[in-house]
């Protein structure tokens, strides 16, 4: 069965497209969402197949993607989250270790060469959201987008700076965040920072301490880029399911519930960082739960 592809959205003069680095099978649900059960997942198959979960006849696995959103306004070209990146040492993950993809050429094929990007916004500083912030040039990590301002929430940056000093992490802070700061391209901002009156941040802590969502409005329409507040549409149905990677699982669940309540039965698009296929959806009530409608 063909999964319906993503199609670019238009918000007045603002175009929202996405550039995919990878797409396919997601973590086994019991591992990723410790609170999940096969029965509760099956109860949502009616609206999740085939975009977000394959039919059982095809193995039934959850699906996810790693991609960046590309926002083009009349004045700016903006990237939201920059995937895993090439050439990065990620020994904890065979799929992400020393990756070689054509993501940058794919972005250029969309009309976005690196020099053209005005802003890079990271919803948070996990490894799969900062990778293309930098690229390897003569053995050094340099900002991939030489003219861009990179927008990092200060609370997020401070958290990982501290973690790096004490825990070492997976290396992504050192190779994909610090070189941007050292090159003078980063702006460490408050969690309500606005680029203009059509694009602004809001705090959504829990998955990470300084996680932000990004609001967009234009042409009488609106969207919320929810980053990893939600990893899979299952969490629209079950906002209480925090992932094993959430820093604060209780706060993460509370943030999700707040977002679901706010978006439910409105026309605001939810644009998450890892929903696969036709991922731009709107939240609708389904009994005493919720679902995403594309
Ligand atoms: Zn992620």
Enumerate long-range contacts of 34-38, CB under 8 Å, 24 or more apart. 34/244, 35/238, 35/240, 35/241, 35/242, 36/234, 36/238, 36/241
For residue 215, how far is its CA from the centre of ligand 1 (angstroms)? 18
Ligand 1 centroid – CA 213 distance (Å):
13
For ligand 1, the distance from its centroid to the CA atom of residue 140, given in whole angstroms, is 25
Here the CATH number for the domain that contains residue 66 is 3.60.15.10
Query: Are β-strands 221-227 and 269-272 bridged in parallel, bridged antiparallel, or unpaired?
Result: parallel
pLDDT tens track, the chain, 294 positions = 455 678 899 999 999 999 999 999 888 888 889 999 999 999 999 999 988 999 989 888 899 999 999 999 999 999 999 999 999 999 888 999 999 999 999 999 999 999 999 999 999 999 999 999 999 999 999 999 999 999 999 999 999 998 876 554 578 999 999 999 999 999 999 999 999 999 999 999 999 999 999 999 999 999 999 999 999 999 999 999 999 989 999 999 999 999 999 999 999 999 999 999 888 999 999 999 999 998
Nearest one of 281, 153, 275 to 214, comparing CA atoms: 153
CB 215 within 8 A of CB 192: no
Interval between CA 79 and ligand 1 midpoint (Å): 15
- Gap from CA of 209 to ligand 1 centroid (Å): 14
Q: Is residue 216 part of a domain?
A: yes
What spacing in Å lies between the alpha carbon of 70 and ligand 1's midpoint?
17
Query: Could you tell me the distance, in angstroms and rounded to a whole number, from the CA of residue 52 to the centre of ligand 1?
Result: 16
Q: Is residue 2 domain-resident?
A: no
- The answer to whether residue 178 sits within a structural domain is yes
DSSP 8-state class, residue 192: T
Residue span of the structural domain in which 60 resides? 9-293
119-121/149-153 β-pairing:
parallel
Q: Tell me how far the alpha carbon of residue 182 lies from the centroid of ligand 1, in angstroms.
A: 24
Centre of ligand 1 from the C-alpha of residue 276, in Å: 13
Q: Is residue 264 part of a domain?
A: yes
Burial of 95 from C-beta contacts in 10 A (0-12 / 13-18 / 19+): exposed
In a domain, 225, yes or no: yes
For residue 38, how far is its CA from the centre of ligand 1 (angstroms)? Answer: 23
Q: Is the distance from CB of 120 to CB of 79 less than 8 angstroms?
A: yes
Number of independent structural domains in the chain: 1
Give the global pTM. Answer: 0.96
- 128 alpha carbon – ligand 1 mean position (Å): 5
CA of 68 from ligand 1 middle (Å) equals 11
In a domain, 289, yes or no: yes
CA of 143 to the centre of ligand 1 (A): 20
Burial 24-34 (b: 16+ CB within 10 A, else e): eebbebeebbe
- Decide if 1 is inside a domain: no
The verdict on residue 73 lying in a domain is yes
**Ligand 1 mean position to 126 CA, how many Å?**
7
């Amino acid at each position: 069965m063909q999964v319906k592809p993503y199609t670019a959205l238009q918000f007045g003069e603002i175009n929202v497209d996405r550039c995919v680095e990878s797409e396919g099978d997601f973590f086994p649900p019991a591992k990723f969402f410790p609170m999940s059960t096969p029965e509760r997942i099956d109860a949502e198959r009616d609206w999740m197949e085939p975009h977000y979960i394959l039919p059982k006849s095809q193995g039934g696995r959850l699906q996810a993607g790693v991609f960046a959103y590309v926002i083009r306004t009349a004045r700016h070209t903006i990237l939201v989250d920059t995937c895993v990146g090439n050439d990065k040492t990620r020994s904890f993950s065979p799929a992400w270790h020393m990756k070689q993809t054509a993501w940058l050429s794919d972005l250029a094929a969309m009309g976005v060469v690196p020099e053209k990007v005005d802003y890079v916004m990271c919803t948070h500083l996990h490894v799969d959201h900062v990778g293309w912030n930098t690229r390897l040039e003569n053995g050094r990590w340099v900002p991939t987008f030489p003219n861009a301002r990179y927008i990092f929430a200060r609370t997020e940056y401070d958290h990982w700076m501290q973690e790096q000093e004490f825990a070492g992490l997976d290396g992504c802070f050192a190779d994909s965040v610090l070189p941007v700061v050292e090159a003078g391209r980063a702006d460490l901002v408050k969690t309500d920072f606005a680029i203009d009156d059509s694009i602004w941040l809001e705090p959504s802590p829990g998955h990470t301490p300084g996680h932000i969502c990004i609001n967009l409005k234009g042409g009488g329409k609106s969207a919320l880029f929810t980053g990893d507040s939600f990893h899979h549409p299952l969490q629209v149905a079950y906002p209480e399911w925090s992932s094993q990677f959430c820093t604060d699982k209780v706060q993460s669940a509370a943030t999700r519930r707040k977002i679901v309540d706010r978006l439910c039965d409105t026309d605001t698009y939810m644009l998450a960082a890892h929903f696969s296929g036709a991922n731009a959806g709107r939240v609708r009530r389904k009994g005493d739960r919720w679902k995403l409608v594309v």
